[in-house]
Amino acid sequence: MYTINHLKKIKKNKQKFAVLTVYDATFAKLLYNQGINVMLVGDSLGMVIQGYNSTLSVTINDIIYHVRCVKNGAPNCLLLADLPFMSYNNNEQALNNSIKLMRVGANIIKLEVINQWSLDIVNYLTKYSVPICGHIGLTPQYVNFLGGYKIQGIHKNDANRLLNYAISLEESGVVMLLLEHIPELLAKKITEKLKIPVVGIGAGVHTDGQILVLQDMLGINNNIPVFAKNYLNNYISIAISNYIKEVESGVFPINKN
């Protein structure tokens, strides 16, 4: 089974690792068989699965359901799971919801950190030996506070704040850090400063690992971020179109009797 120690070794050897979000057993099994050992059940499911325009609709029960599905498909993966919006308002709530996720298969709990309050939540969870991945930079659960899905850490004060958050998170005992949509040089500085594995999304090439939303990587999301890449080149759309044409023309199904 893949563990956080594998990622620490990868970082120590100055190698890199790939991560994808996933929400169901079929894709989980496919990804694992192709070599994706680290997966995330993220609250991005609110946008790419549920069809909302933000992650704020996602509940802890939504995450629990999809964690079960993914773990059934890839039982040996290292699985991260999000604590969704307003599911960690205080220490006890954060701990109880983390326990629920770990009981159904999550190995690491990810939560967004934007201020001292969320840092305190992380400190509390790590004292109870909950493996935590901190998430800083663009934090989608706080999109209304941030004023949109904008790059973070551009100005010196904001960059220093994010660097200090990263250091504080490592000191608190988190096992991983995710950097989202921050300048490449800032991500490089943070990655080199920390001993824990650092994964990036829209944070340049210098992080220890990269993560993408599966639907963005496949090019089937309606609003693909500027930092993502479509690796499928619309083959799914072509396949669907070909199926429709063959049904309408009578080519499919083929009579094998």
Give 154-200 pLDDT, tens digit per residue. Answer: 999 999 999 999 999 999 999 999 999 999 999 999 999 999 999 99
Q: How confident is the model at residue 227 (pLDDT cuts 50, 70, 90)?
A: confident
- Which range, of 26-30, 79-83, 157-161, 242-246, averages the lowest pLDDT? 242-246
What CATH number does the domain containing 70 carry?
3.20.20.60
| The one-letter amino acid at 112 | E
Give 66-75 pLDDT, tens digit per residue. Answer: 999 999 999 9
Q: Please state the φ and ψ torsions of residue 147, each to the nearest 5 degrees.
A: 80, 25
Structural domain for 191, as ranges: 4-249
Does some domain include residue 257? no
Report the distance separating Cα 74 and Cα 30, nearest Å.
9
The mean pLDDT of 134-151, rounded to a whole number, is 94
Q: Which helix (H) or strand (E) holds 122?
A: helix 116-127
Does some domain include residue 256? no
| The one-letter amino acid at 247 | V
Cα–Cα–Cα angle for 114, 115, 121, nearest 5°? Answer: 95
The mean pLDDT of 109-115, rounded to a whole number, is 97
Mean pLDDT of the chain: 95
Does some domain include residue 102? yes
Please check whether residue 83 is in contact with residue 94, taking contact to mean a CB–CB distance below 8 angstroms.
yes
Does some domain include residue 254? no
- For residue 221, the model assigns a pLDDT of 84
- For residue 69, the model assigns a pLDDT of 98
Tell me the percentage of the chain whose pLDDT exceeds 90: 86
Smallest CA-to-CA distance from 40 within 211, 219, 176 is with 211
Give 118-138 pLDDT, tens digit per residue. Answer: 999 999 999 999 999 999 999
Report the distance separating Cα 55 and Cα 65, nearest Å.
16
Does some domain include residue 245? yes
pLDDT at 248 over 70: yes
Q: How many domains does the chain have?
A: 1
Does some domain include residue 255? no
The mean pLDDT of 216-226, rounded to a whole number, is 86
The mean pLDDT of 112-118, rounded to a whole number, is 96
Smallest CA-to-CA distance from 37 within 12, 59, 15 is with 15
Q: Which residues contact 248 (CB under 8 A, 6 or more apart)?
A: none
The mean pLDDT of 211-229, rounded to a whole number, is 89
Catalytic residues: 180
- For residue 107, the model assigns a pLDDT of 98
Does some domain include residue 124? yes
Does some domain include residue 57? yes
